[in-house]
Chains A and B, each alone.
Chain A
């Protein structure tokens, strides 16, 4: 068995080693993360420790020629609770994380709620590790008329104690200086703090007694709480806040998303021009650049979402909003905090799943992750437009109704699935809906930017590793084996050469036709195409022929591929005009002369695309956030199964009512 690494011998020699690991522990909302951000800035990263569903942040800081590694542990009310964050703290403090024992523990105490902090301190002191105390919120405590005496607290606790403020940066240097003086709690203190009156006596000695003084700020807080948590007014304010957030996301992300798309297109064409035509060029341009571009295009939306959510959370509003939505969400076994991730999934499931970290209960969080991809994301819109236009070519009203119905169907499927999962595989006790409501304050923009940077790095790492690998595999499946150019295409090319001198436009049209025939043959001949052909019997009950099956199979990479695949397979060139493409697909026929997109098949296909999980990056992010591919597989299997059954039911219903 591996013993945790201890660096105590260096301490025993009277000095810290060149690099010391300091674990930061404290109650939630005491300003611990602000302090960590001030200490480490961008030299920090999120660490997912094996076996843990919660995360800590690790960062470094240099001071006086020494390097400190800080571990920002999640806020806990006690370290002995059976909660994931308490377990992570226990493991870290006992040296079970990466086998590395912290050299010292920095306990962050809130001067406005010293009693609760001292309860946590008491259990941490009993671990016998060197301690330093950072006393935060002292400005707020003084505003409330409390006297704050950090020196006295240092004497009472017998360990260094420094007033520090992560937002303003005051007290950071003295805090770093105090780390070298960290020491273990004395046996006398450990004995004294077991007395029932120790906490009350200490609070009285340090801040002049329990905080009973009301302030103007309390009255304002009362009024704001009454408005923000009111079932009707609070609900309306929440809808307004979310509408503003999502308007900002869609509006502000538009320009950087276009820049990323254009940049990737430029990169692809430049690389294609530099590399000789062949397998390597296709791999780099179509597989790597094309695949990763399809994922990182969402980076601006992700950054904006996390930045705005961090600002909202910092104001203290999100904790109140959670109660408003809890009344609705709890009927489906989800907590109020699940609303924001589900709403975010309408933009893209990736940021939606990543934002489930707002949910404290692991089962609630898992249930939300599993159902988030049901919400109709922006990538589905293209397919909805195409199929709805085919279904209702002359009725804008019914087309609009069907479009809205797609969104409603996705949301209903998500909520019903959540209720089923919470009563079956995720059955069990949920954390009670008790939340600390942090004080209202102006958001910390620096902290929000650091948090956004952290999320962006995590997303890009995922895009550059797992998602890149998946893209390369999918490229290979659709590009190999290579087919010969079909004879008809060779004839068309030859005719194009003949007529080029007389009619350049005619020559271009012939070449386009030839390339469509070649692409169609390649689609059918590739592994993905063959898989589609092999699976066609399974999709026959949905009315899909081989071409539609291939289109459905290839769109498991990303659902927006459906449109381009169908235009190739049906024999039309791709176009930006949705109506033109829909017209051409609506005219396509099967070998027996019947319509390929008859109403029953189109309705079934629409339901399938609303409910199926056809987005490999989403599966990769689910696996990462849940820590297991098992949950990603369940998500994929469940959503595909539900999509298949309901698509079948929709097709049969249309056939039953004889709609043609």
Chain B
């Protein structure tokens, strides 16, 4: 059986490295399971796209999920890895993404 072609790893960037106007999805987060559950309940899970409204300059990172704006402290936003989206017209990518953030131990938990 011929070898399957290896797909390149999707680009992953910390939330703080995105630019204003970028659309992205959450890929992973080095945060506790409790914080993960809060983010998921606030609507920020791996099934949704968000738009970056403000980032950098020492202030909070502001993103928009649907019509809701969420502000994240830069320290917290730095721990959230994102996957830039190539389908700018969609808000939810439920088909291509798992139902929720991974429930296994995060990088921080493992450390």
| B residues in contact with A434, CB < 8 Å | 38-39, 42, 70-73, 76
B17 adjacent to chain A (CB < 8 Å): no
Contact assessment for B67 and A144 in the assembled complex, using a CB-CB cutoff below 8 Å: yes
A491 adjacent to chain B (CB < 8 Å): no
Q: How many angstroms between the C-alpha atoms of A115 and B68 in the bound complex?
A: 11
Contact assessment for A116 and B70 in the assembled complex, using a CB-CB cutoff below 8 Å: no
Contact with A along B47-87 (1 / 0, CB 8 A): 11000011001111010111111111101100000000000
Contact assessment for B94 and A196 in the assembled complex, using a CB-CB cutoff below 8 Å: yes
Q: How many angstroms between the C-alpha atoms of A324 and B65 in the bound complex?
A: 22
Among B70, B94, B99, the residue within 8 A (CB) of A436 is: B70
B9 adjacent to chain A (CB < 8 Å): no
Scoring B43, B60, B76 by chain A CB atoms within 10 A of each residue's CB, the highest score goes to B60
Which chain A residues in 433-458 approach chain B with CB under 8 Å? 433-437, 439
A113 adjacent to chain B (CB < 8 Å): yes
- Smallest beta-carbon distance A257→chain B, Å: 37
Contact assessment for A320 and B71 in the assembled complex, using a CB-CB cutoff below 8 Å: yes
Q: How many angstroms between the C-alpha atoms of A439 and B53 in the bound complex?
A: 14
- Smallest beta-carbon distance A87→chain B, Å: 13
Scoring A323, A330, A439 by chain B CB atoms within 10 A of each residue's CB, the highest score goes to A323
Which chain A residues in 200-214 approach chain B with CB under 8 Å? 200, 210-212
Q: How many angstroms between the C-alpha atoms of A320 and B54 in the bound complex?
A: 12
B92 adjacent to chain A (CB < 8 Å): yes
Closest Cβ neighbor of A29 among chain B residues: B68
Given contacts A196-B99, A230-B59, contact A429 B37 (CB under 8 A): no
Among B53, B58, B66, B69, the residue within 8 A (CB) of A211 is: B66
Given contacts A229-B59, A323-B59, contact A113 B66 (CB under 8 A): yes
Q: How many angstroms between the C-alpha atoms of A82 and B38 in the bound complex?
A: 9
Contact assessment for B68 and A436 in the assembled complex, using a CB-CB cutoff below 8 Å: yes
Contact assessment for A112 and B54 in the assembled complex, using a CB-CB cutoff below 8 Å: no
Given contacts A211-B91, A212-B91, A436-B42, contact A229 B66 (CB under 8 A): no
Given contacts A210-B66, A229-B62, A230-B59, contact A77 B41 (CB under 8 A): yes
Among A113, A200, A226, A319, the residue within 8 A (CB) of B67 is: A113
B34 adjacent to chain A (CB < 8 Å): yes
Q: How many angstroms between the C-alpha atoms of A234 and B73 in the bound complex?
A: 15
Scoring B68, B75, B76, B91 by chain A CB atoms within 10 A of each residue's CB, the highest score goes to B68
Count A/B pairs, Cβ under 8 Å: 124
Closest Cβ neighbor of B39 among chain A residues: A434
Contact with B along A139-161 (1 / 0, CB 8 A): 01100100000000000000000
Contact assessment for B69 and A221 in the assembled complex, using a CB-CB cutoff below 8 Å: yes
B3 adjacent to chain A (CB < 8 Å): no
A431 adjacent to chain B (CB < 8 Å): yes
A472 adjacent to chain B (CB < 8 Å): no
B89 adjacent to chain A (CB < 8 Å): yes
Contact assessment for B94 and A319 in the assembled complex, using a CB-CB cutoff below 8 Å: no
B13 adjacent to chain A (CB < 8 Å): no
| A residues in contact with B89, CB < 8 Å | 212
Given contacts A115-B92, A429-B32, A434-B71, contact A77 B66 (CB under 8 A): no
Contact assessment for A210 and B73 in the assembled complex, using a CB-CB cutoff below 8 Å: no
Contact assessment for B38 and A437 in the assembled complex, using a CB-CB cutoff below 8 Å: no
Contact with B along A412-443 (1 / 0, CB 8 A): 00000000000000000101111111010000
| B residues in contact with A200, CB < 8 Å | 92, 94
Closest Cβ neighbor of A226 among chain B residues: B54
| A residues in contact with B54, CB < 8 Å | 222, 225-226, 229
Given contacts A229-B59, A434-B42, contact A78 B37 (CB under 8 A): yes
Q: How many angstroms between the C-alpha atoms of A113 and B31 in the bound complex?
A: 25
- Smallest beta-carbon distance A577→chain B, Å: 50
Scoring B40, B58, B92 by chain A CB atoms within 10 A of each residue's CB, the highest score goes to B92
| B residues in contact with A221, CB < 8 Å | 53, 69
Scoring B38, B47, B58 by chain A CB atoms within 10 A of each residue's CB, the highest score goes to B38
- Smallest beta-carbon distance A101→chain B, Å: 25
Among A115, A144, A212, the residue within 8 A (CB) of B43 is: A115
Q: How many angstroms between the C-alpha atoms of A320 and B90 in the bound complex?
A: 28
Closest Cβ neighbor of B23 among chain A residues: A212
Q: How many angstroms between the C-alpha atoms of A234 and B40 in the bound complex?
A: 29
Contact assessment for A112 and B68 in the assembled complex, using a CB-CB cutoff below 8 Å: yes
- Smallest beta-carbon distance A628→chain B, Å: 24
Contact with B along A284-301 (1 / 0, CB 8 A): 000000000000000000
Contact assessment for B76 and A429 in the assembled complex, using a CB-CB cutoff below 8 Å: no
A395 adjacent to chain B (CB < 8 Å): no
A231 adjacent to chain B (CB < 8 Å): yes
A545 adjacent to chain B (CB < 8 Å): no
- Smallest beta-carbon distance B43→chain A, Å: 4
Contact with B along A315-331 (1 / 0, CB 8 A): 00001100110110010
| A residues in contact with B67, CB < 8 Å | 112-113, 140-141, 144, 211
Contact assessment for A437 and B70 in the assembled complex, using a CB-CB cutoff below 8 Å: yes
Contact assessment for A431 and B43 in the assembled complex, using a CB-CB cutoff below 8 Å: no
Scoring B39, B42, B67 by chain A CB atoms within 10 A of each residue's CB, the highest score goes to B67
Q: How many angstroms between the C-alpha atoms of A292 and B57 in the bound complex?
A: 50
| B residues in contact with A330, CB < 8 Å | 73, 75
| B residues in contact with A115, CB < 8 Å | 43, 48, 66, 92
The 6 A-B pairs with the shortest beta carbon distances in the complex, nearest first, are A77-B41, A210-B91, A433-B73, A78-B41, A112-B67, A437-B69
What are 12 A-B contacts with C-beta separation under 8 Å? A78-B37, A115-B92, A200-B92, A211-B66, A212-B90, A225-B62, A320-B71, A326-B73, A432-B35, A432-B73, A434-B39, A434-B73
**4 further A-B pairs in the complex, CB-CB below 8 A; given A436-B42, A436-B70:** A200-B92, A319-B71, A323-B71, A437-B71
